[in-house]
Structure 1
Amino acid sequence: MNLTREETLRELYNLILNKDTRDWERTVLTTTKDALETNENFKVQMAKLEEKLRPLALRDNLTGDVADFYLKILGESAEEAFDFSKHRIKDFTHQDYAVFGGGCFWCMVEPFETRAGIDSVLSGFTGGDTQQPSYDEVLSGGTGHVEAVEIIFDTRKISYQELVDLYWQLIDPTDNQGQFQDRGNQYRPIIFVRNDQQGKIAEKSKEKMIESARYKQPIITEIKPTSTFWPVENHYQQFYKKNPKRYKRIKRYRQRFLLYQRLKGEIRIRLQK
């Protein structure tokens, strides 16, 4: 534990006041805060807190900021912080935004972020009505939001058309109940377009997908105007870097499913010919 008593109390206060903190987490944190304020043994109280949080931490089921605090209790560095201040357009002549909902945002970042011409990829929520939705609120499916990625790209190095083409390779466009193992409206596939030019490119691309006859089921992927994009907290940003083994397992499952789906499509096309 690298934090002092005073630093720990400050962190506890912030987490207790954080609207994203779950009720159970808030109760446990409050108990520790109250004990520290009455000068209970610091190391003993932190050991008790670590023991209570451990089962959920091992299952990666703590809310984001509490998960970062748990790492500090262990004496480990908090997860690499995503620099939210750098996710903005600096050159309006040569940079643009693109927003895609394609299931869990954990698996949507790496395929875009590792492409030349991508300046930043931010995970978050969009398409709903609730202001500043929390991760748990969106997960419940009641806010109307979907998990999505907002991409800033250099138009001199990669085009919006190329991003859309890549997007179709990452999703099952026939599934309106979610994507792969992630079920629910918050995971449905949507292309969010921010102007008429993006809209025309997306619509034409979708028409080509339909005309290709690669899918037995209808293409249900929506195309909608962009709305407010709410970033998710640091813990959920760049999952593929922070949890490489788990990410590879999820990615492998998705790739196998998509490969099988494409092979069925190729067979269907050949039989039709």
Structure 2
Amino acid sequence: MKKDEEITTLYNLILNPNTRDWEREQLIKAKEELATSGSLKEVLDRLEVSFRPLALRQNLTPDVMDFYLRMVGDPLGEAQYDFAQHEITDATVQERAVFAGGCFWCMVEPFETQEGIISVLSGYTGGDVTQPNYDQVSGGYTGHVEAVEIIFDTRKISYQDLVEIYWQVTDPTDEFGQFQDRGVQYRPIIFVQNEEQRKIAEASRQALSESGRYAKPIVTSILPAQPFWPAENYHQQFYRKQPKRYKKIKQTRHQLAVMQKLTKVWRKPKN
């Protein structure tokens, strides 16, 4: 990349409100060096070294992490989600559905791989702050939960079908998180778009409660849809961009779900 283009990238990250203060200090230093007489390669090499410890722990803010991946030549840094594709183009046959069920990294693939799904977007909803960022939500400071917003074709898949998938990939008895994801930002909630969705979700929840599949009460909330804020590019379609890491997270989630079911069977009183 040319020096002028790199300076523009650094400038945008410096102005990005989601960039942490320490990250911004490193970016400003690099930008100033490039603006004078610094070698592009040498400046970026020093910046990479300063970011590396946090990058290896996946602890850079999302946009800076994307930039870091591009610096080290990782193709993940070039993977850009097309946010413009996530829209309803025909309201007569398309609807939205919003589900919160733990980390949104694990909530995309179960829905996106179904026939009739047009788009799945990771994001934040249910809180009090406009345009929240990942640091704010993951810290539990805004009241938001991590969630997915789904646009689907009602001719190919129904809202009832989506709710049933939701029950299969979440623990509806845990109101303090989901599996290994703990905190208010991971609580299970179905956000309904209209009265029809509310009736379907409530009837499905009641049927699940009466099914005897769980010894504990069903605590998943059903709430009216609230503003949905897209998560940063780094978090979109995580299962596609980082399949190995996603597989490990998914396996852990599955193992905890199996253990929990065994515990529930063991605790269930005998007739």
Same fold (TM over 0.5): yes
Query: Any gaps of 5 or more consecutive residues in structure 1?
Result: none
More deviation, 206-215/71-80 = 71-80
Structure 1 residues 203-212 or 125-134, which shifts more?
203-212
- Number of aligned residue pairs: give it: 270
Structure 2: stretches of 5+ with no match in the other structure: none
> Please, which of 31, 37, 40 is the counterpart of residue 38 of structure 2?
40
Q: Give % identity.
A: 59
**Counterpart amino acid of 2:136?**
E
Residue in 2 that maps onto 1:12:
10
Instruction: Give the match's secondary structure for 1:167.
Output: helix
Of 155-164 and 208-217, deviating more is 208-217
How many angstroms apart in 1 are the aligned matches of 2:256 and 2:121? Answer: 25
Assess if the C-alpha contact under 8 Å between 1:127 and 1:227 holds in 2: yes
Q: Secondary structure at the match of 1:43?
A: helix
Q: 1:1-273 alignment to 2 at 5 Å?
A: 3-77=1-75, 78-263=77-262, 271-272=270-271
Cα distance between partner residues in 1 of 2:15 and 2:131: 15
For 1:264 and 1:76, the matched residues in 2 are separated by: 42
Q: CA RMSD in A?
A: 1.6
Q: Secondary structure at the match of 2:215?
A: coil
Instruction: Tell me if structure 2 keeps the 8 A contact 1:213–1:269.
Output: no
- TM-score normalised by structure 1 residue count: 0.94
Structure 1 residue 237 displacement after superposition: 0.4
CA distance in 1, matches of 2:165, 2:264: 18
Q: 1:118 to 1:266 in 2, by over 3 A?
A: farther
Report if the CA contact (8 A) 1:65-1:233 is conserved: yes
SS in 2 for 1:60: coil
Whether the 8 Å CA contact 2:215–2:268 is kept in 1: the answer is no
Q: Distance in 2 between matches of 1:261 and 1:45?
A: 51
Q: Which moved more, 1:50-59 or 1:73-82?
A: 73-82
Whole-Å separation in 1 of the counterparts to 2:50 and 2:178: 33
* TM-score for the superposition, normalised by structure 2: 0.95
| 1:96 aligned partner, one-letter code | E
Which one is further off, 183-192 or 248-257? 248-257
Which one-letter code corresponds to 1:31 in the other structure?
Answer: K
**Residue-by-residue CA offset, 1:133-181 (whole Å, 9 max, x unaligned):** 0110111101010000000111111100010011011111111111111
CA-to-partner distance for each residue in 1:100-159, whole Å, 9 max, x for gaps?
A: 000000000000000111110000000111000011011110101000000011111110
Check conservation: 1:192, 1:225, Cα contact below 8 A: yes
